[in-house]
Structure 1
Amino acid sequence: MRMLRVWLGQAARSRTLPVVAVFGAISVLLLWLARGGDAYGSNLALNLGSEFVGTLVVIFALTPIIRRAERGRVREHRHLDFGWYIGRVRSAGLSIRILHTFSRLLLPPHDQRFLAAAADLLRRGGTARILLMHPDSVAAAQRTAELAGRGDVAIESRRNLQALDAFERGLDPGLRHRFEVRLYATSASLQVYCWDDRLLASFLPLGRLSGDHAQLEVSEDSPLGGFVTERFEELWDRSMPVDDYWRTTVTIAGDAEQRSYTARFLLVGEQFYLADPEVVAHIARAGAATVRAVLHDAPERSFRVAVLADGDEESAEVQSRYLEKYDHPETVFVRLG
C-alpha cells in the first residue's frame, strides 16, 4: 500500500494521472459510441485480449531490458542546478541524501524552497539524511585552501548547520526521527545529491566549487552509482551526530557536589570552553574549593575550570567564535584547562 501511495503521489506531481484520466475518458467514450455495432461483445473481447497479450510482452520482455539500459546510462549536467534538484526532491517518495563539504542549497535563495520540499517528503513518510564536513576539522581547512579564495568551508558549513538546526526545531516531533544530519572529518573528494534511486555525483575540483563543475546523473544500481552510494554509507557510519557538535556532556565535581550537565561548548585549537549558566552557578557555589571537570567524550582526562574574565583578549575572541557557531551572543564562559 505504501508503494502504491508513493507511485500515485509521484504520478500526480508528474502529471501522469491527468494524462491517464484523459485517455481513459476518451476510451470509455469510444466504447460507448460503438456499443450498437455488430458482434460488439466478441469484437471487444478479441481486441482487449490482443492488447493484454501485447502488454504482457512489453512488461515481461521489453521493460527489464529498458530498465537495465536506463540504469547503466550516465547523463551529464554542465553544473549543479539547485532548482532542478529541488524539483526532484518534490517528486521523491522514499528518501533524499546529500553529501557535501557545505551546500549552497541551504543558503539563499534556495534554502526555503528546499527545506519546504524536504518537510513535505518527511510528511509523506520519506527520510532525509544530510552529511556535511565538520567545520572545525583539518579537512575543512584543507578544502578551504584548495578553493583558493572561492569559499571558506568552516564559515559556510556553520551557516548550513544553523539553517538545519532551525529547520529541525521547527519540525513536528513525530517527524524528527526521519531527518538526520551528521558531520564527517575526512577528505571525501566527492559530492552527492540523491533522490530515491537516482543521484548526481561530482568530484571536488581544485580552485572551483563543485556545484560549478560537471555533474553525473546515474542510477544507484549502476556501477558508478553503487560506488558513490557505498562511499556515502562508509562516511555516514564514521561520522558524528550533529547533536555532538552543538552540545557536550560534562561532569563538574567539587569537594561537596558532583553533577553532570549538557552544555553548549566551543573548541578553539585544543582549548575547550563551556557556555552554560548552570555550570557557572555550580562553580560559584563551590567558592574557594577546587573544582574539576570531566568530559563525557574524554573520561580519562580531568580539567581544572576557570571563569573567563569579561573584557580581556581571550574572552573577546571566544565571544566572537561562539557567535559564529551559534549565531547568538554569550558573555560568560568557563575554560577547561
Structure 2
Amino acid sequence: MTLYRWDERSLVFFLTVGRLSGEGVQLEVAVHSPLGTFAEQRFDELWQQSKPIERFTHLPLTQVDATDGRREFSCRFVYVDDCLYVAGHDLVSYMARHRLDQLSAYSEALTAADAHELIVVDDESELHGLLMQRFAEKYDASAGAFVELRPPVLVTE
C-alpha cells in the first residue's frame, strides 16, 4: 500500500498482485474516517515489519583464512537455481591472493550457520552468462566474476 498524509487528509492506494501500481485507484480519505484509520493502522503494521533495502542488495560476508584470520566483505548477490552467487572485486581479489583450500565464508544472512565453500564460476560457462544477466537485471550494473557460496553438506546417519 501507499499512504500520503497531509493535515487531516490522506491519499491511500492498496497495491494489488499482478497489476502495475499506476493501474489502480487512489482514494482521498479523511484521516479519522474508518477507512483512513484502517489504512494508517495497516501501514504502521507493515512499516514495523520492513527491512532495509540493503538487506536485499548486499550480503555481509566474513571470509576466513586458515592462516591470516578474518576479513569482512559486503557483496552484491544473485540466486540461480536456489544457489547463491556473490560478486565483488575485492572478494575475488582477496581469493586470488590466498589458497582456495584454506578459505571459507560465513554470514548471519545465510540459512546454514556453518562455513560455506567458495567456488569461482568459470567465466566461459553458460552459468556465468546467466549470472551476468540476472545481476544486470537486479542491479542495472555488470560484474566480471562470480563466486558460489556452497553450503556445507549435511551428513545423516
The normalised TM-score by structure 2 is 0.81
| Corresponding residue for residue 195 of structure 1 | 5
Q: How many aligned residue pairs are there?
A: 147
More strand by share: 2
3-state SS of 2:72 partner: strand
2:23 is the alignment partner of 1:212: yes
| Corresponding residue for residue 101 of structure 2 | 289
Cα distance in structure 2, aligned partners of 1:223 and 1:272 = 45
Once the two structures are TM-superposed, the CA of residue 216 in structure 1 deviates from its matched residue by 1.9
- The RMSD of aligned alpha carbons is 2.2
Give unpaired runs (5+ residues) of structure 2: 151-157
Cα distance in structure 2, aligned partners of 1:315 and 1:244 = 24
1:307 maps to a residue whose letter is V
3-state SS of 1:201 partner: strand
For residues 328 and 213 of structure 1, do their structure 2 counterparts lie closer, same or farther at Cα, with a shift above 3 Å needed? closer
3-state SS of 1:335 partner: strand
Alignment of 1:321-336 (within 5 A): 321-336=134-149
Alignment of 1:213-292 (within 5 A): 213-257=24-68, 258-292=70-104
3-state SS of 2:38 partner: helix
Deviations 1:50-108 (A, max 9, x none): xxxxxxxxxxxxxxxxxxxxxxxxxxxxxxxxxxxxxxxxxxxxxxxxxxxxxxxxxxx
Once the two structures are TM-superposed, the CA of residue 306 in structure 1 deviates from its matched residue by 1.0
Deviations 1:118-144 (A, max 9, x none): xxxxxxxxxxxxxxxxxxxxxxxxxxx
For residues 271 and 225 of structure 1, do their structure 2 counterparts lie closer, same or farther at Cα, with a shift above 3 Å needed? same
**4+ runs of 1 displaced by more than 4 Å?**
204-208
1:230 maps to a residue whose letter is Q
Does the aligned pair in 2 maintain the 1:251–1:296 contact within 8 Å?
Answer: no
1:216 maps to a residue whose letter is L
Alignment of 1:127-146 (within 5 A): none
Cα distance in structure 1, aligned partners of 2:93 and 2:18 = 48
The normalised TM-score by structure 1 is 0.40
By relative contact order (CA 8 Å, sep 6+), the higher-ranking structure is 2
Once the two structures are TM-superposed, the CA of residue 204 in structure 1 deviates from its matched residue by 4.3
| Corresponding residue for residue 153 of structure 2 | none
Once the two structures are TM-superposed, the CA of residue 267 in structure 1 deviates from its matched residue by 2.7
For residues 326 and 229 of structure 1, do their structure 2 counterparts lie closer, same or farther at Cα, with a shift above 3 Å needed? same
% of aligned pairs identical?
Answer: 33
For residues 265 and 205 of structure 1, do their structure 2 counterparts lie closer, same or farther at Cα, with a shift above 3 Å needed? closer
For residues 329 and 220 of structure 1, do their structure 2 counterparts lie closer, same or farther at Cα, with a shift above 3 Å needed? same
Once the two structures are TM-superposed, the CA of residue 327 in structure 1 deviates from its matched residue by 0.9
3-state SS of 1:289 partner: helix
More helix by share: 1
